[in-house]
């Protein structure tokens, strides 16, 4: 008898929860029934979710969006024979907005992580970020990278509580570390000759090196200290769209287009006069 009562209670509880679960699953299932590719073809427009990060995506003096991501998404749409519509979205809400169908794909410098991959599907990587280094010419010109930098006689600067300081501790455990509240202070310490090198997320080391060619250089000759993988993010349950975008990345990696655009935006400051301030 008690077992029967427990069974009835369990059935009742499930019945009460089912509308909530159905509502949450309904949106995802409805979106998954139709490939994003089919929706794109029907409307004639590729809707891209993105957030503004220099030089991934930013506004020029006329207020138009420019940057690496803008070039990438625009070419994807052109190759599809479609128009492109950008949907600027706050970074902390960009994945929920994708799942809710606000746009077709995230092209916004999103790194592949296991946690994110539980919620969205990722294409193959189309860009590789990471931690870069800039060193003072006078202090470090005779040091061999990376072996000579792992010494108590060498001082690194980095932003307090951030990934670069962790990277310095991992790769150069014998070095002296000075931590600062922001990247600008850390870079200035190296420019002023008070530290041998600074580690920071790319493209900041590249930009500071370009802007101060007589003070700092790249001892790693273009190699990053750490490597990340950025990919397009798509809703679950859409293998056709995942296949299309991954193949687009493969083709444009092989033909050098992605590398050329990345070099322009991340390895140069040729675009700086298009924005109000150097960023």
What does the domain layout of the chain look like in residue ranges? 35-128+228-274, 131-217
3-state secondary structure 70-111: HHHHHHHHHHHCCEEEEEECCHHHHHHHHHCCCCCEECCCCE
CATH classification code of 35-128+228-274: 3.40.190.10
Range 185-206 average pLDDT:
96
**Percentage of residues of the chain with pLDDT beyond 90:** 83
Q: Angle at CA 150, nearest 5°, toward 144 and 153?
A: 95
**Lowest-pLDDT range of 16-30, 140-154, 176-190, 195-209:** 16-30
Do 35-128+228-274 and 131-217 come out as alike in CATH topology?
A: yes
* Cα separation, 279 vs 272, whole angstroms: 8
pLDDT tens for residues 121-162?
999 999 998 999 999 999 999 999 999 999 999 999 999 988
Domain 131-217 CATH assignment equals 3.30.43.10: no
Give the chain's mean pLDDT: 90
pTM recorded for the entire structure? 0.80
pLDDT at 121: 98
The pair of structure tokens assigned to 98 is: 């994708």
**Percentage of residues of the chain with pLDDT beyond 70:** 87
Q: Among 159, 137, 185, 207, which residue's Cα sits nearest to residue 168?
A: 159
* Cα separation, 220 vs 147, whole angstroms: 11
pLDDT tens for residues 1-27?
455 555 555 555 555 555 544 444 555
pLDDT tens for residues 29-67?
554 567 999 999 999 999 999 999 999 999 999 999 999
Which tops the pLDDT comparison, 256 or 13? Answer: 256
Collapsed DSSP state (helix, strand, coil) of residue 195: coil
Contact 140, 209 (CB under 8 A): no
**Lowest-pLDDT range of 20-34, 158-172, 260-274:** 20-34
pLDDT at 12: 56
pLDDT at 279: 42
Q: Is 55 exposed, middle or buried (CB count within 10 Å of its CB: 0-12, 13-18, 19+)?
A: buried
Pairing of strands 176-180, 83-88: unpaired
């Amino acid at each position: 008898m008690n077992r029967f009562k427990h069974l009835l209670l369990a059935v009742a509880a499930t019945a009460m929860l089912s509308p909530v679960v159905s509502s949450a699953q309904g949106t995802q299932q409805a979106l998954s029934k139709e490939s994003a590719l089919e929706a794109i073809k029907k409307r004639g427009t590729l809707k891209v979710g993105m957030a503004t990060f220099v030089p991934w995506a930013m506004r020029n003096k006329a207020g138009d969006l420019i940057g690496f991501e803008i070039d990438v998404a625009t070419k994807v749409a052109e190759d599809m024979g479609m128009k492109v519509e950008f949907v600027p979205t706050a970074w902390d809400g960009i994945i929920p907005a994708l799942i809710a169908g606000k746009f077709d794909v995230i092209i916004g410098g999103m790194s592949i992580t296991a946690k994110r991959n539980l919620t969205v599907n990722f294409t193959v990587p189309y860009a590789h970020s990471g931690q870069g280094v800039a060193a003072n010419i006078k202090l470090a010109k005779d040091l061999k990278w990376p072996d000579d930098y792992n010494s108590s006689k060498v001082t690194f600067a980095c932003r307090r509580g951030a990934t670069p300081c962790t990277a310095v501790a991992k790769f150069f455990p014998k070095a002296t570390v000075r931590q600062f509240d922001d990247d600008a202070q850390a870079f200035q310490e190296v420019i002023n000759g008070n530290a041998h090198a600074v580690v920071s997320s790319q493209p900041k080391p590249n930009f500071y090196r370009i802007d101060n060619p007589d003070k700092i250089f790249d001892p790693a000759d273009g190699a990053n200290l750490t490597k990340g993988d950025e990919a397009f993010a798509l809703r679950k349950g859409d293998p056709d769209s995942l296949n299309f975008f991954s193949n687009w990345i493969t083709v444009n990696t092989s033909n050098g287009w992605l590398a050329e655009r990345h070099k322009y935006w991340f390895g140069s400051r040729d675009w700086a006069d298009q924005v109000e301030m150097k960023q």
